[in-house]
Amino acid sequence: MVDRNEWERDRPVLTGSPRRPPPSFVEQANVTDPGIYDEFEENWPECWERAADLLSWDQSYETVLREEDAPFYQWFPDGKLNAAKNCVDRHLESGRKTHTAIRWEGKHGERQTYTYRDLYVAINEFAAALRALGVEEDDVVTIYLPMIPELPIAMLSCARIGAPHNVVFAGLSADALATRMDAADSEYLVTCDGYYRRGDAFNQKSKADNARLKLEQDVSTVVVDRLGDDLPHVLGDDECDYHELRETFAGELVDPVPRDAEDMLFVMYTSGTTGEPKGVVHTTGGYLAHATWTSHAVLDVKPEDTYWCAADIGWITGHSYIVYGPLALGTTTVMYEGTPDYPDRDRLWEIVDRNAVDIFYTAPTAIRAFMKWGSEYPAGYDLSSLRLLGTVGEPISPRPWNWYYEHIGNETCPVVDTWWQTETGAVTVSTLPGVSEMKPGAAGPSLPGMDVRVVDSSGTEVDPGDSGYLTIARPWPGMVRTLYDGDERFRAEYWDQFSDPESDDWHYFSGDAARIDEDGYITVLGRVDDVINVSGRRLSTTEVESAITGVAGVAEAAVVGRSSETNGTDVYAYVSTEGGYDDGTAVREAIIDNIETAIGPIARPTKVQFTPELPKTRSGKIMRRLLEDVANGEELGDTSALRNPEIIGEIQAELDEE
């Protein structure tokens, strides 16, 4: 059983007053029939045909779900389709070729618009170029690009020729890129010269070059020239310029390759409980059906909308809800390169106003920042085009939820708090905005067709009001199929905890703790494994710790999360150095450098606390929970298992002095 005190600390314990969906929204919503829950229940798994029917199939499927080899489920296994054709070609065929597909807003106010026809031309030409470089079906192409249109173009070009993509967030380090390329056996890389970070030109290519030096395989690289004269670069052997390739293959057409529904569409690396990132494998049919269906049913996307998910395509949210879901529905998806506060804190609202954005989807960390900056920033703009607001990535407590509802949504837009993960592929828990009551602080019930449960450590469902582990008791189309690193790890990470293979009873474990109420609404409380969620981004504490212990003079390290008003959680590091206590600035700097080199600036600790030793159990296990309590100024949990209980007091005294 999860200790409630432990998990409810500083979390959104209470839900705010429920709110009904605004009638003006319900009148036009894609899904309005409350009967949809029963309908999916009574007709499971065939209910998921409703999602698959939003796609165009080259060969229709006969089987919805194949369960024989659980937990290696297969969805629509005998169907064939192509994801790029679904996201682009079919909208041309339906007479919408001049409709805007991507509206790009650059950091310095530059703008670009790609119609579906423009996107079609771009992905055909780049698919032809990739083929000419030697990319064949099933070859993994790594994409290491910031938020520029060439990123979705590269993804869709890969999808067109059946080459799975492996997008690595542009802010990750050279080491992190090399690890992910090595793990995915990837011999192709699409990157750029650099990008603007705030006002400055930042060199991305040098990171890519450093990564390549660490790899054993030869890598053929395409470089997008983003910065021109602001950051001149020279191409080496095995490197091509993106725009020159486009010119070479101008006007070429490449037939979209029909893929088996279960063929891999992409791999996405995410942090797990060990230092090694996990290569989450998503397939073409089930993933695309689930991402498209939830864009329709939860985000209420319509082809005529201007829709904006202000996430980064380098993470799963951007894959599912900037690229695949919205483009499959033929809408206009906004892509924003910059940050919310550059050049000023009104930047997002200026973009919403100027583009008459209908749907806006962001993360609680951003909402908390907006709230802190003050309502005068959005108040200066006309946000009346907005119809629906969404949030994802971390728990959102009632106060920021209500602020978002009032100051951005003007109390006329439903807010969908969507719980899901890289592994679930698409939204799993949320209200349906045209149907369900919203409870600020609770994500909502399982979506129709999903069976999300909160259970105790024996797998028994907890009573309403109690907390436990968040599990999923039935397969779903967008689910992770395996880990690129192997089926064994896949079973160990997600299935071994709550399943009973003997009786063929499979339960997926999310790694989250949650509480459920009497209406089946789920409040997610946070991770229960060694993963911390910083501004909606997953970091493995083990990965950060190994970057710290790589510094000369460091003996041991323990990394925990500390609640933070803006980031949700900050990285907090406890370090003991060789030869006793040392608070040397040099070691601290080396630690931060090493973390930025191994992972990237997102993992930078807000505090490095030196201590002569770390609190340990008699068997030598570091008591991270206690360190987390200290970092958060909480009352300490049980210290009786400690071999060196006095150290906790010493650490606290040290902190009190500061």
- Residues of this chain that interact with ligand PRX (CB under 6 A) are 270, 315-317, 392-395, 417-422, 443, 510-512, 524, 527, 533, 538
Token representation of residue 424: 């679930």
What minimum distance in Å lies between the beta carbon of 601 and ligand PRX?
Answer: 17
Tell me how far, at minimum, the Cβ of 316 lies from ligand PRX, in Å. Answer: 5
By beta-carbon proximity to ligand PRX, the closer residue of 393 and 468 is 393
**Do 454 and 443 form a contact (C-beta atoms < 8 A)?**
no
For residue 417, the minimal CB distance to ligand PRX (Å) is 5
State CA 565 to chain mean position distance: 21
Q: Which is nearer to ligand PRX, 204 or 510 (CB)?
A: 510
How far apart, in Å, are the Cα atoms of 137 and each of 140, 263, 502?
Answer: 9, 10, 37
Token code pair at residue 59: 């060969």
Pairing of strands 239-241, 220-224: parallel
Whole-number Å distance between alpha carbons of 124 and 494: 38
Residue 6, φ and ψ in degrees, nearest 5: -65, -45
- Report, in Å, the least distance between residue 295 CB and ligand PRX: 14
- Residue 159 to residue 156: CA distance in whole angstroms: 5
**CA dihedral over 189, 190, 194, 199, signed as positive or negative:** negative
Kindly tell me which of 267 and 592 has the beta carbon lying closer to ligand PRX.
267
Q: Report CA 546 to chain centroid distance, whole Å.
A: 23
Least Cβ distance, residue 266 to ligand PRX (angstroms):
14
Nearer to ligand PRX, 114 or 144 (CB): 144
State the nearest-atom distance from the C-beta of 657 to ligand PRX, in Å.
34
> Cα–Cα distance between 417 and 298 in angstroms, integer?
10
Write the DSSP string, 316-347: HHHIIIIIIHHHHTT-EEEEE-S-TTSS-TTH
Residues 6+ apart with CB under 8 A from 43: none
Please report how the helices 174-183 and 205-214 are oriented relative to each other, as an axis angle in degrees rounded to 10: 50
Provide the 10 A C-beta neighbour count for residue 620.
Answer: 7
Smaller CB separation from ligand PRX, 91 or 296 = 296
Tokens of 478: 């967008």
d(Cα 617, Cα 642) in Å, to the nearest integer?
4
What is the closest distance, in whole angstroms, from the C-beta atom of residue 389 to ligand PRX in the complex? 13
Contact call for residues 558 and 576 (beta carbons, < 8 A): no
Choose between 194 and 393: whose C-beta lies nearer to ligand PRX.
393
Least distance (Å) between residue 311 CB and ligand PRX:
8
Which C-beta is closer to ligand PRX: that of 291 or that of 524?
Answer: 524
From the CB of 392, what's the least distance to ligand PRX, in Å? 5
Amino acid at 637: G
Question: What is the residue whose two structure tokens read 């911390």?
Answer: 532
* Least distance between ligand PRX and beta carbon 429 (Å): 7
CB closer to ligand PRX out of 120 and 287: 287
Choose between 462 and 648: whose C-beta lies nearer to ligand PRX.
462
We find the least distance from the C-beta atom of residue 53 to ligand PRX, in angstroms, to be 25
Q: Which of 320, 311, 270, 312 is nearest to 531 (CA)?
A: 270
Asked if residue 309 lies in contact with residue 322, where contact means CB atoms within 8 angstroms, the answer is yes
Could you give the C-alpha distances from 492 to 69, 283, 499, in angstroms and in order?
Answer: 16, 20, 11
Q: Is the peptide bond before 77 cis (omega within 30 degrees of 0)?
A: no
Distance of alpha carbon 156 from alpha carbon 145, whole angstroms: 14
Both tokens of 31, joined, read 């899904």
Q: Please, which residue, 116 or 315, has the CB nearer to ligand PRX?
A: 315
CB of 287 to ligand PRX, least distance (A): 13
CB of 438: closest distance to ligand PRX in angstroms?
13
Which residue lies nearer to ligand PRX by CB, 149 or 318?
A: 318
Residues in a beta bridge with 512: 527
- Nearer to ligand PRX among residue 123 and residue 298 (C-beta): 298
Q: Which residue lies nearer to ligand PRX by CB, 124 or 418?
A: 418
CB 367 within 8 A of CB 404: yes
- What are 510's two structure tokens? 């999310």
Q: How far is the CB of 310 from ligand PRX (least distance, A)?
A: 13
User: Is the separation of the CB atoms in 145 and 191 below 8 Å?
Assistant: yes
C-beta of 332 vs 510, nearer to ligand PRX: 510
Identity of the amino acid at 609 = Q
Is residue 530 a contact partner of residue 540, using CB atoms and an 8 Å limit? yes
**Is residue 478 within 8 Å of 425, Cβ to Cβ?**
yes
